[in-house]
Amino acid sequence: MQLFVARQPILDARLNVVAFELLFRSGQANIFDGSEENASTAQVINSAFYGPGGEDILRGKPAFLNFPRGLLVGDGGATLPPAQTVIEILETVEPDEEVVAACQRLRARGYRLALDDFVPAGGSNPLLSLIQYLKVDFRLTTRSQQAKVARRYGRDVQLLAEKVETEEEFRAASSMGYTLFQGYFFARPVILSRQEVPAFKLDYLRIMEELHRDELDFDQIAGLLRAQPALAYKLLRFVNSALFAIRQEIGSIQQAMTIIGEDELRRWLSVALLMGLTTDKPDEVMMNALARARFCELLAPQAGLESRRADLFLVGLFSRLDTLFGLPLEEVLGELNLREDMRRALLGTAKPGERLAALWDLVLRYEAAEWDAAAERAAGLGVTVERLREAYTSALSWSDEVWRG
């Protein structure tokens, strides 16, 4: 049985992550019967809460979990901690007497319930009196329906707008009374003119440009860093840390860069620069970029791309530059000296057979819980399902550690 698990953040109106929806499915779900599907789902749920690495997936946040009918009526959630669990009742679950009774038992035990993909329709739904969250799919409903739900149910439950993909949709949902949000809106840039980009961001871009030349000019980079004292200070702190075990304190930027070496300088300074760009963006944007970068890097050896690990790390890291700069990704990448296959992978213009682009596509498919496509691309690259799961969990843990550090 091949099991997949991914997560999607749920944010509040201030774009703080308040929970994660865990998405799970067997890679062979299309040939499983219902009982086996419930068993695989239960196994993934338990591994997320009680297995090694589970705490790295949730980061102490509550989990929204999709429950099919079999898990609901079979008390499949009884082993989960109520304070950390929100049970989502799928839209395909018929609210018959057995399902309603199961939800009542869950409520009595302290679990919170959410009704998924709700669309207003005629008739009453007995589950509406038992839930705390109502999820409305902004791709499947009209603006009129979204407003109708908010007026009718906003006082009784928390409204969660899902599949919100633009800034305009986010603002519209907020004005209607939705308090929780899920989707790619936090990743979509508000396009600005070049004159509106803050000067320090342009300075950071110039440093990135120098970092990704074939041969580094340490003198040029040092000159740029001197104009950014906060970055220079962080670099010196890094090289004087216990990681390098240097007896004599290093006080110059040139010395620090020489000790670190070109590859590590590219990696460390790229992360530091992008973190400096997130001051006006949700934390999740940068954490997602870090997780993508590490996920790419960890998959590289098994995919036959060991020699491109550093490049793949940067592909993941730079995938959010459009959001961080508020400019189209093609325009931002035009300022950087990236290898052409890296640029093509990020812009979705890769040529058939480009292995680096195939691995990047695998990362995106897995992140979006497109399991069948992810399994197909993994098989084509020689990456096992077990390695996918291990690398994904490890990448989430690493990104959280780096961000907190």
Find the CATH number of the domain harbouring 138.
3.20.20.450
Cα–Cα dist 94/100, whole Å: 9
Q: What b/e readout covers 221-260, taking b as 16+ CB neighbours within 10 angstroms?
A: bbebbeebeebbebbbebbbeeeeeeeeebeebebbbeeb
Q: How many CB atoms lie within 10 A of CB 119?
A: 12
Domain that holds residue 398: 194-404
Partners of 137 in the beta sheet?
Answer: 162
Query: What's the mean pLDDT in 173-201?
Result: 72
pLDDT digit string, tens, across residues 213-256: 778 888 888 888 888 888 888 888 888 877 676 767 777 888 88
Cα–Cα dist 90/85, whole Å: 15
Q: Which helix (H) or strand (E) holds 9?
A: strand 3-12
The secondary structure of residue 123, as a DSSP letter, is S
Q: Residue 32's pLDDT band (boundaries 50, 70, 90)?
A: very low
Amino acid 98: pLDDT: 94
Asked if 262 and 360 sit in the same domain, the reply is yes
Say whether 251 sits in a helix, a strand or coil.
coil
Nearest Cα neighbor of 119 from 163, 169, 170 is: 163
The secondary structure of residue 74, as a DSSP letter, is T
181 phi/psi in degrees, rounded to 5: -145, 145
Identify which has the larger pLDDT, 393 or 201: 393
Asked if 183 and 198 sit in the same domain, the reply is no
Asked if 183 and 199 sit in the same domain, the reply is no
Q: Are 80 and 42 in contact (CB under 8 A)?
A: no
Amino acid 54: pLDDT: 59
Cα–Cα dist 375/366, whole Å: 9
Say whether 4 sits in a helix, a strand or coil.
strand
Asked if 67 and 176 sit in the same domain, the reply is yes
Asked if 40 and 147 sit in the same domain, the reply is yes
Among residues 170, 187, 204, the one where a domain terminates is 187
Counting the structural domains of the chain, the total is: 2
Amino acid 200: pLDDT: 74
pTM summary value: 0.76
Asked if 125 and 221 sit in the same domain, the reply is no
Cα–Cα dist 383/363, whole Å: 12
Asked if 125 and 45 sit in the same domain, the reply is yes
Cα–Cα dist 226/249, whole Å: 19
